[in-house]
Structure 1
Amino acid sequence: MTRYRYVDPDALVSLLNAVGDDDRRGRFVHDFISLWETRSQRLMKAMGQHDYEDADVVLLSIRSSSTMLGAWPLEAIGGMMHTQIKNFDIPGAMVHLARLHEVGSATCRELTGVLESMRAEAPR
């Protein structure tokens, strides 16, 4: 049995089952993975420009999609950053930025493994 560090497998399976047919299964996961770098860069840009509104939007996106995927560590870090952004505290949010990137990348790697397992287990 695979040990997950970054994604709750029960939450992920629940999401995948809710999605429905095989054509759409995994698309949300794939989209999360493919958008991670864009979201990450957009967040850095927003914070660098002290654009609290855009940073808020990006962090809401990261947090909501992480919650849907069961990516609790990523959601928790995003939550800490989001609190700082809501308090107009860029330096406080920056404290967590490197960890957000690290955990986000690790989450994407773990999710990639899940997608590969799904493809391997799919009936042919």
Structure 2
Amino acid sequence: MTYVHIDETTVSRLLRELADDVPAGVRFLTDFVAAWEGRVARLLDAVEREDPEDVTTVLLSIRTASGMLGARSLFSAASDLQRQVAETRQVDAPAIRRFVELGTASCLELLDLAHRLEAAAV
């Protein structure tokens, strides 16, 4: 399967860095997905409060983890939003909603990849 939002080369590199420990890599992928709803809730709360500092903090967390996981679209979008908030000190709620949709799509791909990795390791 070809992924739209995930760079499998980055995931392969992560697995090599984990000494080819597939269960650890799968756990990293699934932990990111499991944390997604909490990150979204915090992000949307920060948007509602119009708190650019908290928005930036959540975006940084997502950007860092998504970069390590090869979620290139999410990484790029988080970087762009961080830059926009830093420059304008404003929170663009529609852009955040599009970001959340992108993140959800990325999480679905990460889960699929995690299942593929598990099946291949058996």
TM-score by length of 2: 0.89
Aligned identity (percent) is 33
Corresponding residue SS for 1:95: helix
**2:42–2:58 contact (8 Å) kept in structure 1:** yes
Unaligned 5+ residue runs, structure 1? none
Superposition map of 1:22-37 within 5 A: 22-37=22-37
1:56 aligns with 2:56: yes
**2:7–2:72 contact (8 Å) kept in structure 1:** yes
Superposition map of 1:1-124 within 5 A: 2-20=1-19, 21-86=21-86, 87-90=88-91, 93-123=92-122
CA distance in 1, matches of 2:28, 2:48: 29
Corresponding residue SS for 2:2: coil
Report the residue type matching 1:106 in the other structure.
Answer: A
Normalized per residue, which structure has more helix?
2
**1:8–1:70 contact (8 Å) kept in structure 2:** yes
Structure 1 outlier segments of 4+, above 3 Å: none
CA distance in 2, matches of 1:110, 1:7: 7
Report the residue type matching 1:95 in the other structure.
Answer: P
TM-score by length of 1: 0.88
List per-residue Cα deviations over 1:2-29 (Å, max 9, x = no partner).
1110100101111122123344221211
Unaligned 5+ residue runs, structure 2? none
1:100 deviation in Å? 0.8
Two-structure CA RMSD over aligned residues (Å): 1.4
**2:50–2:90 contact (8 Å) kept in structure 1:** no
**1:15–1:69 contact (8 Å) kept in structure 2:** yes
User: Of the two structures, which has the highest relative contact order with CA contacts closer than 8 Å and spacing of 6 or more?
Assistant: 2
CA distance in 2, matches of 1:51, 1:35: 21
